[in-house]
Amino acid sequence: MRLSSDADASRHLHRALDRKFEAQIRRFDQADTTSKVEGFWEEAKRAGDIPAAYWCVITHPATTVPLLQRVVGDVHMLSHLVGASNRADIRRLAELESRCAELQDKTERQQARLQALAAEREAAMRELAAALAHNAKTADEACTPAAPDETESLEYLRGVVAALERKLGVEERRRERAEQLFTTTRESLGHTETALASATEREHLLQTELEAAERLLEHRRNGAERNGAYASRLAGRTILYVGGRLSAIHAIRSLCEEAGCTLEHHDGGMETRRGLLEARVPRADVVMFPVDCVSHDAAWALKRLCRQSSRPLFALRSASLSSFLAAIDTWTTQQQADTGDAGVTQASVTCLVQG
């Protein structure tokens, strides 16, 4: 805004943006009506090329006030969608934590019940053993025919033994059911803890991506010349990007060009021969691929080639520009720290494999 209020600075800013988005401006120049400009905007929005298309729309002579208001509203809604996705993940995390606490409390109550049942069983077994011992002693002492009262005592003891055996059988069945319930609850708790850990990790990854995207938007909102936020870290570097979607590749390539680095793209073997990876991996400073848009064969081949050539490999959470930005932040930060560790490291939205 400060630049736009200065006439001379405004002209320089206008020329700089025209050079930056020259390819997209030539495309929009083909539109001679408002409806065609609107159509080009919708195509660019689906492709994810928002900054260039936005500049083309607001500077096109066929743009009307209603169309400009709609485009500004679309850009505003995109920022709300990113924030809404992050809030939904946080709510899901809170629900999982509450569910985990409930299951933990239920498990503790069931364990207390099992201990009480075990104590009752042991008491019943002691009572039964005492009765059986008394019965055996009475039988041994009976060397003569039992008197009527002794016969009644033996029958009474047999009844007591039978009742205790029935009670013992009932308690054993209750114990078995309680053990089955405990096993089921423990498995459910394990699944819940796994889901909670996964949700926590996903929330952390999405937060990292959001912060990377916000830093880039803030840098561009402040009117910085080209992409100085990444130029100091990426200038002269070569990035090999395998797989992904063409709509996102254009935005990633534009970012790399602004930062002064080279982006080499390989589609993972769909149209380009996978054998070319063996030649491209050693030339790259870092290798990246989105796990949701690359073949398994290409992913395994990249892991093998990066280990052989000691190149860092990032498996991005998705083919989005925000995942790419978060991976760049992680890679450059680790380079500055000069960790030099081998193996796999969980880093924001990526998995880093070195040497």
Tell me the three-class secondary structure of the chain, residue by residue: CCCCCCHHHHHHHHHHHHHHCHHHHHHHCCCCCHHHHHHHHHHHHHHCCHHHHHHHHHHCCCCCHHHHHHHHHHHHHHHHHHHHHHHHHHHHHHHHHHHHHHHHHHHHHHHHHHHHHHHHHHHHHHHHHHHHHHHHHHHHHCCCCCCHHHHHHHHHHHHHHHHHHHHHHHHHHHHHHHHHHHHHHHHHHHHHHHHHHHHHHHHHHHHHHHHHHHHHHHHHHCCCCCCHHHHHHHCCCEEEEECCCHHHHHHHHHHHHHHCCEEEEECCCCCCCHHHHHHHHHHCCEEEEECCCCCHHHHHHHHHHHHHHCCCEEEECCCCHHHHHHHHHHHHHHHHHCCCCCEEEEECCEEEEEC
pLDDT at 2: 55
The single-letter code of the amino acid at 113 is R
Distance separating alpha carbons of residues 325 and 213, to the nearest angstrom: 7
Say which range, 152-156, 177-181, 200-204, has the weakest mean pLDDT. 200-204
Cβ–Cβ contacts within 10 Å for residue 266, how many? 24
Q: What is the pLDDT of residues 100-122, one digit of tens each?
A: 888 988 988 988 888 888 888 88
Using CA of residue 18, residue 22, residue 26, residue 27, what is the dihedral sign?
Answer: negative
pLDDT at 310: 92
The tokens of 153 are what?
């005592």
Which one has a higher pLDDT value, 131 or 343?
131
As a residue count, the chain comes to 355
Residue pair 86/207 in contact by the 8 Å Cβ criterion: yes
Which one has a higher pLDDT value, 11 or 139?
11
> Is 239 a residue whose pLDDT tops 90?
yes
Percentage of the chain lying above the pLDDT 90 cut: 11
Give the angle subtended at the CA of 51 by the CAs of 50 and 57, to the nearest 5°. Answer: 85
Phi then psi dihedrals of residue 311, to 5 deg: -110, 140
Say which range, 21-30, 174-183, 250-259, 339-348, has the weakest mean pLDDT. 339-348
Q: What is the pLDDT of residues 184-216, one digit of tens each?
A: 888 888 888 888 887 877 777 776 766 666 666
Residue pair 302/281 in contact by the 8 Å Cβ criterion: yes
- pTM comes to 0.42
Measure the N-to-C terminal CA separation of the chain; round to a whole number of Å.
47
Distance separating alpha carbons of residues 81 and 191, to the nearest angstrom: 30
Nearest to 95 by CA among 196, 204, 201: 196
